[in-house]
Structure 1
């Protein structure tokens, strides 16, 4: 397998946040300087030394003044909705210190590698040093540099030379200085701030380095320092050491900054979840609960929905011929546990009175209640660990059964305290306690799953059956170099880097062979490792995490779950990040050794604490001065506009008494029922709502689901109805699209549009003059407002120029997905006066030109698009894939006309639609179309919402495919949605053409009433 990388807007934004801080810096490629050749011990060595490159290439100085830098930083902060810095914050002897906050799992390593290439492209800087706090992170950075090399070569046409600093291999340092290309050195802090002999060599004059000090050679290059996890490098000793590198600037990347400098980018836990950039988290908690007057051991695994009545999966003790054994039973209402246990006295009186599938509880006739995940009776630590291991294996197999057909390998990670619990070398087979438990539970669950797998899942059945239990789990720890056996890793217990192991061997397979772990050919699916393995572990396909260890207050739950947040990849190395299905596929299950409520409560508090930098009040002051982007340029929100937004929030109860955003706002937004903004604000609705979203409220916290809540949701008898089969046979047709147009027509349309509509806002700057007041009141002195503004002037156009070098053709070609040749023909055809606007404001010229060209491109696509049917149809298994487990927090009540018992809806509009469909006397059967039913379009695959079959004779159109939207207003539907809907109309027109013009009707509806208008009268909203 080869991991693939693609340009993603959110990562590009992170890169531009850094690079734009230096706008107008002149591109100076490599300032040459004379390298100190050192002093040789003899003539031969002197000759060799003199043959070294005579010149090195260092980073050019930052030419911008402090005021210019701060102005650039403010511009970046405004578009990020960040608080404006009042000054440049110095640290480690450097005046430029930029903080980039990126949530774990969103690819910060990729971002700073891309930033290196972009800084080189725009400004000519070539010397970069990545500083890391541990061996694990160092190995991860090296792996990232290696696997992204080809990707960045394709994007930038050059490669970066990278290496790890080693005081015994200083020839790399010579090349670092003398090479004119991009050079990246990776160094861990122990190499320059520890007291050991090898660590001090960086400051010593070395005979094997021509009597030079490595630190002097490094500092001569004026390197740009990139600190990965800087919160572990904030000690006074480390900062003093970093100053000796004489950095040009310091860029700090972390999800959890402790010290703030000039923060210029934020992608926190809330942003990452809302933008679907990380996995959704689900939890299986286990709570030890005492039931009055009994020692009976009981563990309620889960409640299953069956066709008849809910069934409880309960682990209990059962008398057998060989003694008493704990086994799992599936029990219905009315079952007597005394009888089920073969008359063990501790179960007398335990008769199941009620099984509640909605609350996930069972109640006994005694009135005692157990919830899913509750354990009672003789619950020792060994019992708890066995339950955890079983739950982790169950979660793994459930995910694997669903994801195998999509080519996604599922990995599960167990964190343990010590190797002996997994590998016990005092035993004949080296098996530790956890390894034995794992193999026992795995074999039992494997047999159960093989027996339940449907016949149409033969490929997964074969895969599961063929993997030997002894080969499917392994432990990744340190390896003793003498005995070649696993050993507990040594890791620092205090100070900077506490809890991080510095043993390279512990991470080899995890970090260096991650592609192998992702392949189905590799049998290892369950990984046991040490709890100290925190930062650095970044395999994307961890779907289950199990904490088989005592609570450790030095490791937060956020750090633990962070190891599994990355978006998964399939066997081709493609990210499974389709926005429509990303959180159906990417769900991380955490098996905790505490109750669901306790784990989630603590995790939410940690996430909330990490968002402390977010502003919490949506008042007038917050909105005033913020900027939004319009068709004519950047618009600053005035105090009048800010008051309108504030009153809008108050009027609709979207804020509370202390101006914090209320839950009602977030619910309304999720359901598509937000009140309309005042007419003058409506054109900017999307950006204004984005500003509101940036204000933190507790109701925004990412939901953490209970992994036991999802139920089985099998296809029911409606799926077999002749009316549904007839409907499915009519729409089950695949097609390919063609777009045939003359590129010259597109070019001419673009030229006409640019000549007519392209308007670029000139770059401006404001000059304000003021002086100290003749007299100042106490209040003015206290607030610092003792100066009076006397004069304001604005400079436009020709007096202000950008000094940044732009790849005009490349940028517009990238934005429009057209060739450079096509863009060149368009720009060469526009009027000279129009093209001259480029110099006035290059960024706005590029953005506006791209937008106008894309509009013309979209128009031609729709006009010239056609579909051709092909012989291929959809497999029937798209109805079962992903349906075995769903999040029922958004599910309907049990339905009578749907092909499943339950329907999981995405909005209030859909929930209302389902209620009316299911009670309609005209509807025979309907289905929420599965995610796998996709129509290809030039702007991405499209998944319609509903397929409906009506009673014959009740309506004009018996077979209908519907898309539900809360509004049909063109202002409220995104352009991409419009395009997909237009493409779908042509797709169904092609299907109808082959059979019958009234064969299947497709349309967009806002309600059941609108649907009946269309199917009853034959009208269309097209």
Structure 2
């Protein structure tokens, strides 16, 4: 699997914002200089080097370019060039985490080389983690940029023991990129100081002098982490031509030329949405009763609370179990009469609006809260369980689209995952994970739709021990160990753990493959900066709370948009935020986590204006047909008055929530006529003024998007249709066993053909000379011929229970299976010896088909008094894949319909557009017709407008083909059974019977309806 890259307009804008600052700089390729050979070299050893050409523009020209770049983005204009680190040209590029800033500055390197000929670049980073990530990015984007620019960059990581790479950096005329972490030149160790020393193994030269001779362009990744004294004093020694700083959170302001902050990234759908499952402990006065409210399921009948409590089993053992409880359920009875639930723990209210459960004793529990006897171990188990649930919800949604879901646990000690003092070496977290995963997997499998076979196979494929893995440092005994963690400085709380980062980055593409079993990753909390995988959908912090890492840094590791199995980015605007949602399982309440996260985001938006004044709008640039034009003071006054008049700004000139609500609802008041030609740009200017209402909406991970029933459900036409089909029934099959035996014998005699076992003989000859390695691998012989034979003396040595296997596969008794096999012709039965396994599978298939044929012929349905409740339309709405939902519909009983295929989506669109259809429904999974080959869920229930004869009700099954050869036998059988069901249930209706059929398109449906109405 290979990650793919494409040209993104927002990234191109970031590149042009930097490159255009030097518009007018002449193209100068191959500026040469004489490389200092060092004192130990001969005079004749002078070599020619290639350095960056000096900036030919004056300071005023560069400043004018910068202002032009800032003006077209409506950024604050710079009054002067801000010098820093001994360099006059310092440009700040603000890009939110996850939007591809590494890609942008790599592309900037190529673009600067193309336009101006500059070829020597140094990417400087604050840690080994980021260094390794950048090196990986340079590798995986090489082919992409080669396609665009027709050349590749030479890149390497600076190492004081591989100084020959510096020689190549200087002497090569192509694009050269050196990646260096600041510890390589600002730390006190001997290896780190070598960059400033005259080295014998470097012809008595100083590496820093050789670097500086190239006049490199410095690119600082995360510059806010490189503002310590040692780093700022060292930067001038590199003699940079310019310094480009890329970060989401600049501390120091210089000449800012581009901004793509957290609000821009979210509003433009360039990063994932965030959902939070908060978990909080609190004490309840006067009780030690353990309770955890996992969440509330909404149904049309009544909400159901998922509560974990202590239960005494019949064996006397006490376990904590999750129960689905309803109004008036008594926890004392549910727990097996545990004393702590005796006094008033009967549910008096379940409030789905506020996610609360109230008991008769006055105790109120909120979703995500655990009370009573709760230890840290309990909280960690709950976190692990919630992470697995969030993972499986997302995986069920995205599997069919070929998107691998990854979940990431950050822990603070390796021993909690891998404990070498235990016989199985499992730490506490690994043990809890395996216990919870096994239980939840079985639960999800039991609720999975019968036709979702591919995901079922995927879920059952790998044992629990294979689905999780630890990414940590490794010692000499190849054991996982804790990394060295920085105690001071900008990197406090983080680690430069090369081993672990190497594992993470090398396995990046492999982890994205659905063929790779690992889906849950445990890593050290100190390594968070090294984690950069686009398909991390769930993050869990199994660590003690601290202040060294912000919430924003935590979620930043999972913000990048996901990719599918082809390496394509999932960024289609219509569905990007239905697919790309990052769920954070936090060890604090949802409210605390969200408010803390939003405060941190707001604090980073310091460059945004806070007030929508006339002065702010005056002078801003608009793009017109005749070119750029400034907003005049008169136009600025009109914009200001428009905001005040419609209450879109308050007395403090801040943008009000009314403005954002109207914008979201599409009900904004019209602009004055003079401003209407520039409406989009003016609203962009208004949106750039910060207000709290703009902060990204953080979803509650326990409240999945739902699709409520609308007024169409209550229409008379649908209620009458529903009343005709919602009756439950049982089937009976009466047939003569002797007849089944006769038909099976006849079919086996005429159809059973078994492929004999084959064997192949290879002939080889030993080579003239054989190495030790060939002896080990068996490669010392050359195959010179082979022959394949079948039958004869080749027989399986495995003993088969033929009767048992046939009876099991066909669901017949051993007696019936024996009578069938006894009647088969000797020549046919003799094939068993030639290939037993093929004989069993083919005989089972033929017998099953004969059985199915007889079942349909003899099948009868008896209606029951019991009916399906309308509740099935709202049950199990969690985990719906809204990326496969239609646009909003007008005649469906839901606002949206989640389809299983393109055929179904087209069919729904045509039904909704039809003037003949009054109301229709995609029947919920809970509506099932029993059949001898498994329950069957029809697709559609449709009510047509009343015609001249009678009203027509229709139940339709949509298929892409009507060819029985392309429909599986089990599908054909279920369809045949459904015909019987609707025919027999319909006999009880005197008029307006329901018609059932299989259709391939809306046109086919109308053809059948027309015939039915005739």
TM-score normalized by the length of structure 1: 0.72
1:40, distance to aligned residue in structure 2 (A): 2.6
In 2, distance between residues paired with 1:884 and 1:550? 31
Measured at CA, do residues 895 and 114 of structure 1 come closer, stay the same or move farther in structure 2, by a change above 3 Å?
A: closer
Match of 1:324 among 291, 310, 318: 318
Aligned partner of 1:552 in structure 2 is 546
- CA contact 2:504–2:530 (8 Å) conserved in 1: no
Measured at CA, do residues 883 and 171 of structure 1 come closer, stay the same or move farther in structure 2, by a change above 3 Å?
A: farther
Aligned partner of 2:10 in structure 1 is 10
Measured at CA, do residues 76 and 948 of structure 1 come closer, stay the same or move farther in structure 2, by a change above 3 Å?
A: farther
Aligned partner of 1:624 in structure 2 is 618
1:120 aligns with 2:113: yes
1:360, distance to aligned residue in structure 2 (A): 1.8
Measured at CA, do residues 368 and 897 of structure 1 come closer, stay the same or move farther in structure 2, by a change above 3 Å?
A: farther
* Structure whose CA Rg is larger: 2
In 2, distance between residues paired with 1:627 and 1:883? 48
Aligned partner of 1:32 in structure 2 is 32
In 2, distance between residues paired with 1:563 and 1:203? 35
Measured at CA, do residues 691 and 158 of structure 1 come closer, stay the same or move farther in structure 2, by a change above 3 Å?
A: same
State the secondary structure of the residue aligned to 2:529: coil
Aligned partner of 1:584 in structure 2 is 578
State the secondary structure of the residue aligned to 1:251: strand
- CA contact 1:102–1:268 (8 Å) conserved in 2: yes
Unmatched tracts of structure 1, length 5 or more: 727-878, 905-916, 931-945, 960-990, 1001-1022
1:630, distance to aligned residue in structure 2 (A): 1.1
Q: Residues 99-138 of structure 1: matches in 2 within 5 Å?
A: 99-138=92-131
In 1, distance between residues paired with 2:562 and 2:362? 45
Measured at CA, do residues 886 and 611 of structure 1 come closer, stay the same or move farther in structure 2, by a change above 3 Å?
A: farther
1:885, distance to aligned residue in structure 2 (A): 3.0
Aligned partner of 1:540 in structure 2 is 534
In 2, distance between residues paired with 1:929 and 1:177? 70
In 1, distance between residues paired with 2:164 and 2:396? 52
Measured at CA, do residues 513 and 658 of structure 1 come closer, stay the same or move farther in structure 2, by a change above 3 Å?
A: same
1:511 aligns with 2:505: yes
- CA contact 2:396–2:879 (8 Å) conserved in 1: no
1:85, distance to aligned residue in structure 2 (A): 1.3
State the secondary structure of the residue aligned to 1:456: coil
Measured at CA, do residues 129 and 235 of structure 1 come closer, stay the same or move farther in structure 2, by a change above 3 Å?
A: same
1:884, distance to aligned residue in structure 2 (A): 3.9
1:477 aligns with 2:472: yes
Q: Residues 648-663 of structure 1: matches in 2 within 5 Å?
A: 648-663=642-657
Cα deviation 1:583-639 (Å, max 9, x = unaligned): 000000000001101111111110111112211001000000000111111011110
1:677, distance to aligned residue in structure 2 (A): 0.7
In 2, distance between residues paired with 1:255 and 1:535? 14
1:235 aligns with 2:237: no
In 2, distance between residues paired with 1:574 and 1:721? 47
State the secondary structure of the residue aligned to 1:659: coil
In 1, distance between residues paired with 2:366 and 2:610? 36
In 2, distance between residues paired with 1:244 and 1:925? 75
In 1, distance between residues paired with 2:706 and 2:383? 22
1:277 aligns with 2:270: yes
Aligned partner of 1:288 in structure 2 is 281
Aligned partner of 2:403 in structure 1 is 408
Cα deviation 1:445-470 (Å, max 9, x = unaligned): 01111111111111011111111111
Measured at CA, do residues 112 and 299 of structure 1 come closer, stay the same or move farther in structure 2, by a change above 3 Å?
A: same
In 2, distance between residues paired with 1:495 and 1:421? 27
Unmatched tracts of structure 2, length 5 or more: 722-872, 899-910, 925-939, 954-1000
State the secondary structure of the residue aligned to 2:269: coil
- CA contact 1:226–1:252 (8 Å) conserved in 2: yes
- CA contact 1:714–1:884 (8 Å) conserved in 2: no
In 1, distance between residues paired with 2:271 and 2:75? 22
1:57 aligns with 2:39: no
1:305, distance to aligned residue in structure 2 (A): 2.4
In 2, distance between residues paired with 1:438 and 1:651? 58
- CA contact 2:266–2:272 (8 Å) conserved in 1: yes
1:202, distance to aligned residue in structure 2 (A): 0.8
1:513, distance to aligned residue in structure 2 (A): 1.7
RMSD of equivalent CA atoms: 3.4
Aligned partner of 1:830 in structure 2 is none
In 2, distance between residues paired with 1:497 and 1:661? 38
Match of 2:376 among 356, 372, 381: 381
In 1, distance between residues paired with 2:922 and 2:63? 53
In 2, distance between residues paired with 1:163 and 1:949? 68
- CA contact 1:37–1:50 (8 Å) conserved in 2: no
Aligned partner of 1:301 in structure 2 is 294
Measured at CA, do residues 887 and 684 of structure 1 come closer, stay the same or move farther in structure 2, by a change above 3 Å?
A: farther
Cα deviation 1:550-574 (Å, max 9, x = unaligned): 1110100000000000000000000
State the secondary structure of the residue aligned to 2:258: strand
Measured at CA, do residues 649 and 537 of structure 1 come closer, stay the same or move farther in structure 2, by a change above 3 Å?
A: same
1:715, distance to aligned residue in structure 2 (A): 9.4
- CA contact 1:128–1:223 (8 Å) conserved in 2: yes
- CA contact 1:409–1:541 (8 Å) conserved in 2: yes
In 2, distance between residues paired with 1:324 and 1:514? 43
The worse-fitting range, judged by mean Cα deviation, of 421-430 and 586-595 is 421-430
Measured at CA, do residues 327 and 460 of structure 1 come closer, stay the same or move farther in structure 2, by a change above 3 Å?
A: same
Measured at CA, do residues 107 and 33 of structure 1 come closer, stay the same or move farther in structure 2, by a change above 3 Å?
A: same
1:573 aligns with 2:559: no
State the secondary structure of the residue aligned to 1:7: coil
Cα deviation 1:329-379 (Å, max 9, x = unaligned): 111222111000000011112111222223222221223221211111111
Cα deviation 1:66-88 (Å, max 9, x = unaligned): 11111111111112221111111
In 1, distance between residues paired with 2:514 and 2:19? 40
Aligned partner of 1:161 in structure 2 is 154
Cα deviation 1:875-907 (Å, max 9, x = unaligned): xxxx99x9643699xx9xx99974449899xxx
1:924, distance to aligned residue in structure 2 (A): 3.3
Aligned partner of 1:797 in structure 2 is none
In 2, distance between residues paired with 1:636 and 1:996? 59
Cα deviation 1:116-172 (Å, max 9, x = unaligned): 000111111000000011111111000000000000000111110101111111111
State the secondary structure of the residue aligned to 1:589: strand
Q: Residues 971-990 of structure 1: matches in 2 within 5 Å?
A: none
Equivalent pairs, count = 774
State the secondary structure of the residue aligned to 1:28: coil
Measured at CA, do residues 883 and 301 of structure 1 come closer, stay the same or move farther in structure 2, by a change above 3 Å?
A: closer
In 1, distance between residues paired with 2:944 and 2:224? 62
- CA contact 1:402–1:884 (8 Å) conserved in 2: no
In 2, distance between residues paired with 1:309 and 1:713? 16
1:442 aligns with 2:437: yes
In 2, distance between residues paired with 1:928 and 1:669? 32
TM-score normalized by the length of structure 2: 0.72
In 1, distance between residues paired with 2:259 and 2:941? 42
In 1, distance between residues paired with 2:1005 and 2:20? 57
